[in-house]
């Protein structure tokens, strides 16, 4: 029996969600995708997706944080491990090689990361970052902990951050 004959494809294909960073892309995603993904709590972009045919389809937001007991150390960790998240403009879409990302990421400062990523152990700061997605109309929000302190991150979110968002 050939591999194709033993295929385990599902009867229905899984839903395909599209990421979009601009009006044109959000419009295309609204027309052809089963859902929307965005790393910015941009309500206007979400509405563009919905108006183009995405109304009623899932909208997922995603953000990065760096929990740690020391905010300065968390900022250093986020800057060391993920400066490329702040590569400006279309560069992140156009750079062809990892070395190019490394070069451009060298321009990102620790202060820039600190202004864009909740770092440390202030539950209100972390909750505000997630609330921005909820307030913009996203159905789901995914959080990525930057760095090795995963267990502490989960405890912190379970005990201090998520209770601030319940019922919204």
Q: What is the pLDDT of residues 154-168, one digit of tens each?
A: 999 999 999 999 865
C-alpha 118, offset from chain centre:
13
The pLDDT of residue 53 is above 80: yes
DSSP class of residue 117 equals S
Look at residue 95 in the predicted model and tell me its pLDDT: 82
Look at residue 5 in the predicted model and tell me its pLDDT: 59
* Dist. CA 31–CA 43, nearest whole Å: 18
Q: Residue 154's CB: how many other CB atoms inside 10 A? A: 12
Strands 17-19 and 35-38: parallel
Residues 6 or more apart whose CB falls under 8 angstroms from that of 130 comprise 63, 141, 143, 161, 165
Look at residue 35 in the predicted model and tell me its pLDDT: 98
CA dihedral 149, 101, 141, 79 (to 10 degrees): 40
- In the chain, the percentage of residues whose pLDDT exceeds 90 is 72
The residues that bridge with 66 in the sheet, in sequence order, are 119
Look at residue 48 in the predicted model and tell me its pLDDT: 98
- State the average pLDDT for the chain: 92
């Amino acid at each position: 029996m050939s591999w194709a004959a033993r295929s385990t494809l599902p009867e229905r294909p899984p839903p395909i969600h599209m990421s979009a960073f601009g009006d044109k892309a959000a419009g295309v995603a609204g027309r052809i995708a089963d859902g929307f993904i965005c790393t910015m709590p941009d309500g206007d972009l979400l509405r563009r997706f919905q108006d183009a045919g995405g109304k009623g389809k899932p909208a997922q937001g995603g953000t990065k944080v760096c929990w740690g007991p020391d905010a300065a150390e968390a900022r250093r960790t986020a800057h060391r491990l993920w400066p490329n998240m702040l590569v400006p403009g279309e560069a992140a879409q156009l750079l062809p090689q990892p070395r190019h990302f490394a070069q451009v990421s060298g321009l990102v400062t620790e202060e820039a990361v600190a202004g864009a990523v909740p770092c440390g152990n202030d539950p209100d700061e972390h909750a505000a970052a997630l609330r921005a997605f909820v307030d913009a109309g996203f159905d789901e929000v995914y959080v990525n902990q930057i760095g090795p302190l995963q267990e502490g991150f989960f405890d912190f979110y379970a005990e201090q951050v998520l209770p601030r968002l319940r019922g919204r």
